Amino acid sequence: MKIVMYLNVISIFFHLTATETYNNETLYIPLIKWIRSYYSASAVFLLHSSSEDKNFDVWKLTYLSHTWSRLLHREQIATLSSTFKNIHVLDRNNTLRPLAIVFLSGSDAVFEFSKYSESFRISHFAWFVIFVPTATHAENYCYNPPGNPFNLLYDTEMLVMCAGDPVLREWYSVDGNNTVISDLVKWYPKKQLKSPTAVVDLLSNLTLHERRNDLKGKVLRAVTIKNSIFAKKGDKLEGYFSRAVNELEKYLNFTLDIVTEELEFGSFNVTTKCWNGAFRLVASGEVDIGLSDFSMTNFRLDYVDYTVPIITTRDCLYFKQPEMSAVKWLAYYKAYSFALWISLLMTIIIAQFTLAFIRSRIESTDLTMELYHEFIRIWGIFCQQGITEEFPRYSSLRLAYFTVLVTGIVIFAAYSASMISYVTAYVHNLPFRSIEEFVNDGTYDVILNKDSADYDMFALSKDPVSVHMMAKLRPIHTLPITIEDGFQRICDDPTLVYYSGYGKKMQGISNFHIPCDIVCIDTGRVDSLSLILPKNSQYTSILNYYVQKLLNTGLLNRFKNEVFFTKKNTFQPVGFYSVASVLIIFFCGVSLALIILIIEMYCNRYRNSQ
């Protein structure tokens, strides 16, 4: 038994010293560190075959794994050595995107790694695959792999090193059936002997997504929403979102096959724990992409991937604009603020006492009588009547009156401008002006789009506003399905409010019709609209990159209607209700004067009869 163990040790030592891979154990450490940094990986997993081999390949690779693990630990890099069959356990380890180094010592190891990677989403890791120099019958797999042996995806990041070849090649797959190979890095191991860092040349300066900008005409299955802003008319897609997707098709060389068109976006059934509508098809993976303006919520992110938001909107409570304006009883008072009115009153009082004091000292008259006279004069000046008697001869009085006259002119001009601006403003008498006032009002019912993200938000939330919204929400079977239907409802029924992120500004993009004048009460919530894909889709990152590129270059802004950017200012003429308070005061004054006249006439007639 001891003889067998000694022979095994001698055999292992012979194999470890026979090849370059094992001969210089530290040579690969700088290269591994460089690859880990290039892929922004965290820990390092060292994986090898678990099958037995008469030539002790498993023992050799285990020894090499432990040696590299020890050296990487010295570099403050967390490592773990394991076999292919434990790859699923490593995936559940919640490690932040590790770098997995795979040793392939022959065709059997290739088949084993292919077997275990078939049921594992390989893009969860970054990969460095090494075909060791002792690999038998594996050279063809390295340079010309048949089909897609490692079950690669479009977003897989894998570098492969063939035995004795300093060029590291990038592997990925577009259609899942074939492997795309391109030279990415050239390593100089001899130069690295004199350098503590990896000596490499990048053979491409393009980023990952710029290198993979060709889906080779792949057909993506899609679902759209009927009557949404991403509308399908005949065999063509129309609308703002369709133009964005058309640009993506040109950039990435893919086509869309709209397999179905749903009526609803989809909501989550708390009882059955299932989705409906278009969201169900995307979340289950029955289609590759959802083409419409899907709202992004934290709850939905657990089931699908969203692209970069293409449009952001502000959610509002919409209701029909009241046709009647209230009588502006306080319009003439609101031309100035309360503090300014107090300042004006104090100015009149000070001016009255100052002028009365000066006149009583100059003309040696009674101060009380002068206060009465100056009261009439001051009010005449501020009402633009001027001085009702001869201008004073004394310089002190002249200077005082001149100051009061100038002050009166300035105040009257400012008041006139402010009053005209306020009176001509066409302000409607709104029942509420904030979400809090809406909650306190309690006389309006709420509608929103059926099976939308807004419905899920209110149904799953426990905050007081959401609870009130759900209490005031009309029955779900009566809720509108389309945006136009929602606005039509509030135009037909003034007791309804419509919760939505689509208003007049969005008309410049989607061209939907609002049949009446509406009022928007901002709720404070910002809604992000974008495309959706199945959770952990291989196309999420590439679509995000090019959507963001479209947004950064401003290309999507060209597709927006000019109405979206320009706000039409309309000025209403002064209406009857703007001056109703003045007319009412006038008629009340005339009526009071007539009543007093009648009373005086009656009193005089009664007195004469006595």
pLDDT of residue 186: 94
Distances from the Cα of 517 to the Cαs of 318, 505, 513, 526, in angstroms?
Answer: 10, 13, 11, 23
Per-domain boundaries in the chain: 19-211, 330-424, 579-608
d(Cα 525, Cα 501) in Å, to the nearest integer? 9
> Do 19-211 and 330-424 show the same overall fold?
no
| Amino acid at the residue 115 | K
Average pLDDT over residues 150-169: 91
Report residue 6 as tokens: 């000694």
Query: How many C-beta atoms lie closer than 10 Å to residue 577's C-beta?
Result: 17
Percent of the chain with pLDDT over 90: 18
Measured distance between the N- and C-terminal CA atoms of the chain, rounded to whole angstroms: 153
Ordered DSSP codes for 49-101: --S--TT-HHHHHHHHHHHHHHHHHHTT--EEEEEGGGHHHHHTT--SSPEEE
Average pLDDT, the chain: 81
Report residue 352 as tokens: 């009255």
Distances from the Cα of 3 to the Cαs of 7, 10, 14, 53, 57, in angstroms?
Answer: 6, 11, 16, 20, 20
Q: Where are the alpha helices (DSSP H) in 461-575?
A: 464-472, 483-492, 507-510, 540-553
Q: What is the CATH number of domain 19-211?
A: 3.40.50.2300
Q: Residue 499 above 50 pLDDT?
A: yes
Report residue 565 as tokens: 């950017």
Q: Which of 21, 20, 135 is nearest to 68 (CA)?
A: 21
* Residue with more model confidence, 58 or 418: 418
Please answer whether residues 435 and 317 qualify as being in contact, where contact means their C-beta atoms are separated by less than 8 angstroms.
Answer: yes
pLDDT of residue 510: 65
The pLDDT tens digits of the residues spanning 250-280 come to 889 999 888 888 888 888 888 888 898 899 9
Please answer whether residues 128 and 162 qualify as being in contact, where contact means their C-beta atoms are separated by less than 8 angstroms.
Answer: no
Please answer whether residues 153 and 175 qualify as being in contact, where contact means their C-beta atoms are separated by less than 8 angstroms.
Answer: no
The pLDDT tens digits of the residues spanning 278-309 come to 999 999 999 999 988 888 888 889 999 999 98
Report residue 370 as tokens: 């002068």
Q: Residue 231 above 80 pLDDT?
A: no
Q: Residue 583 above 70 pLDDT?
A: yes
Please, what's the largest Cα pairwise distance for the chain? 155
d(Cα 438, Cα 444) in Å, to the nearest integer? 8
Q: Residue 471 above 70 pLDDT?
A: yes
Question: Residue holding tokens 């061209």?
Answer: 511
* Residue with more model confidence, 335 or 480: 480
Handedness of CA 549, 554, 555, 557 (dihedral sign): positive
The pLDDT tens digits of the residues spanning 417-468 come to 877 776 666 556 678 888 888 888 888 889 988 888 888 888 888 888 888 8
Q: List 522's β-bridge partners, or say none.
A: 316
Please answer whether residues 207 and 213 qualify as being in contact, where contact means their C-beta atoms are separated by less than 8 angstroms.
Answer: no
Q: Is 223 helix (H, G, I), strand (E, B) or coil?
A: strand
Q: What is the CATH number of domain 330-424?
A: 1.10.287
| Amino acid at the residue 46 | L
Query: Global pTM?
Result: 0.70
d(Cα 391, Cα 112) in Å, to the nearest integer? 113
Q: Is 250 helix (H, G, I), strand (E, B) or coil?
A: helix
Average pLDDT over residues 23-28: 72
Report residue 12 as tokens: 């292992």
Q: List 128's β-bridge partners, or say none.
A: 101, 159
88-102, 229-243, 442-456, 558-572: least confident range: 558-572
| Amino acid at the residue 441 | D
d(Cα 127, Cα 45) in Å, to the nearest integer? 9
* Residue with more model confidence, 580 or 439: 439
Distances from the Cα of 445 to the Cαs of 97, 270, 307, 439, in angstroms?
Answer: 49, 24, 34, 11
Helix axis angle for 464-472 and 453-460, nearest 10°, is 120
* Residue with more model confidence, 54 or 166: 166
R_g of the chain, CA atoms, integer Å: 41
Q: Residue 372 above 90 pLDDT?
A: no
pLDDT of residue 371: 83
Report residue 466 as tokens: 């959401």
d(Cα 64, Cα 79) in Å, to the nearest integer? 13
pLDDT of residue 19: 43
Q: Residue 322 above 50 pLDDT?
A: yes
Q: Residue 323 above 70 pLDDT?
A: no
Average pLDDT over residues 406-417: 82
d(Cα 482, Cα 451) in Å, to the nearest integer? 11
d(Cα 168, Cα 197) in Å, to the nearest integer? 17
Q: pLDDT grade, residue 366 (50/70/90)?
A: confident
Q: List 158's β-bridge partners, or say none.
A: 127, 171
Cβ neighbours of residue 94 under 8 Å, at least 6 residues apart?
A: none
Distance of CA 142 to the CA centre of its chain: 44
pLDDT of residue 329: 61
d(Cα 406, Cα 399) in Å, to the nearest integer? 11
* Residue with more model confidence, 389 or 430: 430
Distance of CA 425 to the CA centre of its chain: 34
d(Cα 495, Cα 493) in Å, to the nearest integer? 5
d(Cα 203, Cα 185) in Å, to the nearest integer? 6
Let me know if 460 is exposed, middle or buried by CB neighbors in 10 A (0-12, 13-18, 19+).
Answer: middle
The pLDDT tens digits of the residues spanning 193-223 come to 777 888 999 998 898 999 998 998 899 999 9
pLDDT of residue 503: 75
Please answer whether residues 153 and 176 qualify as being in contact, where contact means their C-beta atoms are separated by less than 8 angstroms.
Answer: yes
The pLDDT tens digits of the residues spanning 550-579 come to 888 877 776 665 434 344 555 556 566 666
Average pLDDT over residues 93-98: 75
d(Cα 467, Cα 23) in Å, to the nearest integer? 70
d(Cα 408, Cα 386) in Å, to the nearest integer? 10
Please answer whether residues 316 and 503 qualify as being in contact, where contact means their C-beta atoms are separated by less than 8 angstroms.
Answer: yes
Q: Where are the alpha helices (DSSP H) in 315-394?
A: 338-363, 367-382
Phi, psi of 144, deg, nearest 5:
-145, 70
Distance of CA 192 to the CA centre of its chain: 47
Q: Which residues of 68-81 are buried (b: 16+ CB within 10 A; e: fewer)?
A: bbebbeeeebebbb
